[in-house]
Amino acid sequence: MSKSNRSAGIMTTAIHAGDPPDASTNASAPPIHMSSTYVTEDLAGFSAHDLTPDSPYVYSRWANPTVAGLEAKIAALQGTEACLATASGMAAASAIFFTFLSAGDHLVISDVSYAGVAEIARETLPRMGIEVSAVNMSDLTAVAAAIRPNTRLIHTETPVNPINRLTDLAEISRLAKQVGALLSCDATFASPLGMDTVALGVDLTMHSITKYIGGHGDAIGGAVAGPSELVSKMRAEAAIHHGGILSPFNAWLIARGASTLPLRMKAHEVGAKAVSDWLEADPRVSRVIYPGLASHPQADLAKRQMTNMSGMISFQVGSTADGERVAQQMIERLKVIHYAVSLGHHRSLIFWMGTDALMETSFQLQGAQLEDYRRYAGDGIFRLSVGLEDAEDLIADLDGALG
């Protein structure tokens, strides 16, 4: 299944998938099932291995109706058979790594990725006996050269946080298939509206649903969407055994946000285009990287692969000292945009990321990999998540803070 053979339109899917009228009350809006356990009528088994997709509810670490509703909605939006919701985006990444990798296996991962994911790959997985190669995923020759006979998983992220570099998923999928490796993609920046990952050959699509899918900055969660067989393995291992499950209350908040995702993504894209055009024309800004701009180094790939350019902009203002000065001005002067980490919310958010500091803490790149990072990020970037406010107000706010 891929998005192109979904039976209803995208807005209808976002609103109704996973949210039928409540069977016991006919309530039109979904209830929140805050129950940890369920009264059983059968002598059910008590192991993760007894769980089948049509098992009755037993205990909420196994499955919960409110969480299941959100999982059905995300699977429908991404065009996959199934989805596992997790306590956070980091728990989603951990679910992939710790379900599908064992000692002696090899992982190929992007040399730039969400900082927590980069740190787990560098520090935790090798401790478990997993071999890890971090490569520039925009360089297909480097990816092909990194693959070994024991490569079990290729983990990509596109557009990559925080520099908006893209990965050609169809090409990487071809490489993964040659060695029988799984391909996972962190599509948080793109949202399910930004790419048809199934058609591009991705096996497991993960999201920090704290970001666009929830969309309102009030709940942390994660998700991995994919074929039922792979999702069932993750449910047994990562949810039932490792235990990083999403609470029903957060699932309810995030499902309410997800119902308007297609509308919001259209508005994020329109807003980000207006703001990135303005930034690109401003002499105080030295470089703007946004997949929807003709100046993006991979603009052709963006057009081919992305169905919505999203609301994430990276821009530079010069040296590290310039960046720190402007960041301080933003903290003091911004009236609409919040100076804060995170992204994908209705409120616009901005954060400065100096290249030297980020190299030290998260990426530790050297040589050609560091040079390529600097080709996108220079001495540092502002990561701007364009929210749903009026673009003129965001532009006036940035104009006052760039100084």
Ligand X SMILES: *Cc1c(COP(=O)(O)O)cnc(C)c1O
Binding site for ligand X (CB under 6 A): 88-90, 114, 116-117, 157, 161, 186, 188-189, 208, 210-211, 220, 222
Cβ distance to ligand X smaller for residue 92 or 327:
92
Smallest separation (angstroms) from ligand X to the CB of 365: 18
Cβ distance to ligand X smaller for residue 189 or 315:
189
Smallest separation (angstroms) from ligand X to the CB of 184: 12
Smallest separation (angstroms) from ligand X to the CB of 24: 32
Q: Which pair of structure tokens corresponds to residue 19?
A: 């949210």
* Cα-based distances in Å from 93 to 26, 85, 119, 202, 342: 37, 11, 12, 15, 17
Cβ distance to ligand X smaller for residue 64 or 210:
210
Smallest separation (angstroms) from ligand X to the CB of 220: 5
Its sign, for the CA torsion 308, 113, 227, 85, is negative
Cβ distance to ligand X smaller for residue 155 or 235:
155
Smallest separation (angstroms) from ligand X to the CB of 216: 14
- Residue 193's nearest CA partner among 137, 121, 268, 111 is 268
Q: Which pair of structure tokens corresponds to residue 194?
A: 């930004």
Question: Kind of pairing, strands 204-208 and 182-186?
Answer: parallel
- Residue 322's nearest CA partner among 295, 369, 283 is 283
Contact present, 122 and 132 (Cβ < 8 Å): yes
H helix count then E strand count, the chain: 15, 12
Smallest separation (angstroms) from ligand X to the CB of 275: 19
Cβ distance to ligand X smaller for residue 143 or 220:
220
When CB distances to ligand X are compared, the closest residue is 89
Cβ distance to ligand X smaller for residue 189 or 402:
189
Provide φ and ψ at 35, rounded to 5°: -120, 130
Cβ distance to ligand X smaller for residue 147 or 153:
153
Smallest separation (angstroms) from ligand X to the CB of 157: 6
Distance CA 340, CA 261 (A): 22
Radius of gyration of the chain (CA): 21
Distance CA 236, CA 97 (A): 14
Smallest separation (angstroms) from ligand X to the CB of 44: 32
Cβ distance to ligand X smaller for residue 147 or 343:
343
Distance CA 261, CA 193 (A): 8
For residue 401, what is the enclosing H or E element? helix 391-402
